[in-house]
């Protein structure tokens, strides 16, 4: 299904179109109407099946920014026309749609709000066609860290796996020292993101706490309906703590099923993706004391700007914002700011402007987020860990992760991975 967000053609547009056609046919001197032409942006996302919540939150985050930009007059009168198409979560379909956006629809910007698997496919299209591209959801680090994959015209406005791993490892190591948690186990979804996240988390957990021993692992498949077998395995292995990067409905099922086994009373649980309103509000009996990374919380960063943004989002869409909401809003903001700065939609000019750009953002540390020049990924976004309580604000005390520590260890990781 295709959704259009932007101005509908008016009678005047039709007359102009007819005029252009007439010019072409009759050979009248060329008169440009490009200054009023909408700037077309194509968003590839998942709007069907079990991943439909991705498309729902992503499109709201980006389209709201587009709407505000258009209401403020656009780029010298040119509004952005956002076209949203459903990839159904299939990477080959995502690449096909991305190509179609550029070749058939005349899109000047690609918004990739799809899965990590799709992001790599879309990156290839971006490289080939030279269209300005923003990956808004993919957190897989290599997408922008690996120079062989990186491209001059592609950027990432999502958090990054390596940042989460360093932050999570640092926080969990502190808790482990304090509570004497030595035996750990992983339970993450069996696909690229799950494996990356699991491996990196334990790597940095061990980096910060040498006593850690990983005593088992369990790999449920993505969108698995039932986690009973994984839970009973965890109970049999008897770790003192588990790490999981399950997300979305899979995570709520895992929490619900864990509760009936009384798992949360038997071990510490570190689930990076809980602190997102989609989860926090969906789980009926949210257990107290689960450790989670901040995905999106109206109370973190604890600023008026962030609280106001969350309140306005809720008022507009009648639902809580999610992790994908802020990531997509941020991606759109960067593109808009770069277009304004260059007064152009030329991908080379806009990409050059985006490199190293810092924007005011309610989601940033100190109200700023930077698009790092060397690897085209955002840094300085608010990230931290805390423990759950069953009611709003759900994760009341989030400990911020120090970006200096993240940056230092990220460089080491890049060297080790031969990205530098």
Partner 1 sequence: MDLSALGNCLTSASCIVTQTTSGLIIGLLLFLVAAGVSLIFGVLKVVNFAHGSFYMLGAYFALTAFKLTDNYLVAVLAAGIGVAIFGLLFERLLMSRVYGSPVLMQLLVCYGVILILDDVVKIIWGADFRSFGMPATFQALPFVFAGGVVPVFYMFLIVVTLLIAAILGLVITRTRYGKIVRAAAVNPSMVSALGINTGVVYASVFVIGGLLAGLAGGLAAPVRSLVSGMGTSVIIESFIVTVIGGMGSVAGALVGSLLIGLVRSFGTIGFPLFTEGLMFLLMAVVLVVKPSGLFGKGN
CB of 329 to partner 1, least distance (A): 18
In angstroms, the CA 198 to CA 217 distance is 9
Q: Which stretches of the chain bind partner 1, using CB under 8 A?
A: 47-50, 52-53, 55-56, 190, 216-219, 221, 223-226, 228-233, 235-236, 248-250, 252-253, 256-257, 259-262, 278, 282-285, 319
Token pair 């360093």: residue: 166
Strands 2-5 vs 80-86: parallel, antiparallel or unpaired: antiparallel
Token pair 């005029």: residue: 19
CB of 278 to partner 1, least distance (A): 6
CB of 237 to partner 1, least distance (A): 8
What φ, ψ does residue 366 adopt, rounded to 5°? Answer: 70, 20
Other CB atoms closer than 10 Å to residue 211's CB: what's the count?
11
Which residue, 131 or 245, is less far from partner 1 as judged by CB?
245
73 φ/ψ sector (left φ>0, alpha ψ -120 to 50, else beta): left
Q: Which residues contact 295 (CB under 8 A, 6 or more apart)?
A: 272, 273, 274, 275, 276, 322, 323
Which residue, 73 or 390, is less far from partner 1 as judged by CB?
390
In angstroms, the CA 283 to CA 98 distance is 35
**For helices 52-71 and 304-317, what crossing angle results, to 10°?**
110
Of 360, 382, 359, 357, nearest to 371 by C-alpha is 357
CB of 284 to partner 1, least distance (A): 3
Which residue, 131 or 283, is less far from partner 1 as judged by CB?
283
CB of 58 to partner 1, least distance (A): 11
Q: SS3 for 394? A: coil
In angstroms, the CA 218 to CA 142 distance is 24
In angstroms, the CA 242 to CA 219 distance is 13
Other CB atoms closer than 10 Å to residue 89's CB: what's the count?
23
Which residue, 205 or 283, is less far from partner 1 as judged by CB?
283
C-alpha to C-alpha distances, 237 to 255, 268, 306, nearest whole angstrom:
18, 14, 42
- Edge to edge, the sheet with strand 39-45 lists 2-5, 80-86, 39-45, 109-113, 132-135, 154-156
Which residue, 137 or 361, is less far from partner 1 as judged by CB?
137
Which residue, 139 or 250, is less far from partner 1 as judged by CB?
250
Which residue, 152 or 317, is less far from partner 1 as judged by CB?
317
Which residue, 10 or 285, is less far from partner 1 as judged by CB?
285
CB of 28 to partner 1, least distance (A): 48
- Whether 131 contacts 350, CB under 8 Å: no
Which residue, 324 or 403, is less far from partner 1 as judged by CB?
324
Of 225, 319, 327, 316, nearest to 281 by C-alpha is 319
Which residue, 177 or 284, is less far from partner 1 as judged by CB?
284
**Considering Cα of 285, then 181, then 169, then 114, what sign does the dihedral take?**
negative
CB of 285 to partner 1, least distance (A): 6
CB of 24 to partner 1, least distance (A): 41
CB of 64 to partner 1, least distance (A): 17
């Amino acid at each position: 299904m295709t959704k259009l967000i932007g101005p509908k053609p008016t009678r005047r547009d039709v007359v102009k179109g007819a005029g252009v056609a007439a010019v072409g046919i009759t050979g009248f001197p060329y008169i440009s109407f490009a200054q009023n032409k909408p700037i077309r942006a194509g968003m590839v996302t998942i709007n069907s099946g079990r991943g439909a919540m991705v498309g729902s939150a992503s499109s709201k985050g980006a389209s709201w920014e587009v709407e505000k930009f258009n209401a403020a007059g656009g780029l010298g009168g040119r509004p952005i026309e956002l076209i949203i198409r459903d990839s159904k979560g299939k990477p080959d379909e995502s690449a096909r749609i991305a190509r179609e956006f550029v070749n058939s629809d005349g899109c000047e910007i690609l918004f990739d709000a799809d899965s990590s698997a799709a992001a790599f496919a879309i990156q290839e299209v971006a490289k080939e066609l030279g269209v300005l591209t923003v990956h808004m959801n993919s957190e897989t680090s290599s997408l922008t860290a690996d120079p062989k994959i990186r491209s001059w015209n592609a950027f990432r406005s999502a958090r990054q796996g390596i940042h989460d791993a360093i932050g999570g490892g640092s926080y969990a190591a502190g808790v482990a020292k304090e509570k004497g948690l030595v035996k750990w186990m992983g339970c993450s979804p069996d696909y690229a993101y799950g494996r990356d996240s699991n491996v990196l988390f334990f790597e940095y957990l061990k980096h910060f706490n040498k006593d850690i021993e990983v005593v088992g692992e369990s790999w449920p498949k993505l969108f698995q309906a039932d986690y009973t077998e994984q839970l009973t395995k965890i109970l049999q292995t008897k770790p003192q703590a588990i790490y999981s990067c399950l997300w979305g409905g899979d995570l709520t099922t895992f929490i619900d099923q864990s509760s009936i086994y009384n798992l949360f009373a038997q071990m510490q649980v570190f689930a990076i993706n809980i602190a997102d309103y989609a989860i926090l509000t969906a789980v009926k009996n949210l257990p107290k004391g689960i450790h989670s990374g901040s995905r999106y919380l109206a109370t973190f960063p604890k600023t008026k700007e962030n609280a106001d943004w969350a309140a306005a989002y809720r008022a507009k869409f009648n639902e809580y914002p999610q992790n994908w909401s802020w990531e997509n809003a941020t991606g759109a903001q960067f593109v808009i700011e770069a277009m304004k700065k260059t007064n152009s939609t030329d991908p080379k000019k806009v990409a050059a402007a985006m490199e190293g750009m810092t924007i005011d953002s309610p989601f940033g540390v100190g109200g700023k987020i930077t698009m790092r020049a060397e690897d085209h990924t955002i840094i300085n976004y608010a990230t931290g860990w805390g423990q759950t309580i069953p009611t709003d604000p759900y994760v009341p005390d989030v400990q911020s992760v120090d970006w200096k520590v993240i940056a230092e260890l990220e460089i080491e990781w890049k060297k080790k991975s031969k990205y530098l």
